[in-house]
Amino acid sequence: KYYHMDKGLALILLLIKNSILLVNRVLISNKETPYYILQILQTKLAPTNELRKRDIIKQYYMLKNLQNKYLINLYILLWENVYTEAKSLEISEVN
């Protein structure tokens, strides 16, 4: 059972290392477990709430001022996604 779990963890580790950019491999060069590698990558690469808020505000105003709404289904889908995300982040511009 241990061998089977160890083999699975080694495969996960290989997939993680092969899926990140070469410049980010320096961050995980001395880490051995997938858990620690994912923790480091999350702290270094995951966007902060402030960055997410700015990005959502930018998307919100872009969709709000969009003149060409020919692809109405796509527009509605994007609008719903941005609006829902903005509400969950409690962005005052949306309220």
Query: What DSSP string runs through 52-71?
Result: HHHHHHHHHHHHHT-----S
- Tens digits of residue pLDDT in 15-32: 888 888 887 788 888 877
Query: In terms of pLDDT, which residue wins out, 80 or 17?
Result: 80
Cβ-contact 47, 55 below 8 angstroms: yes
pLDDT value of position 69: 66
pLDDT value of position 6: 81
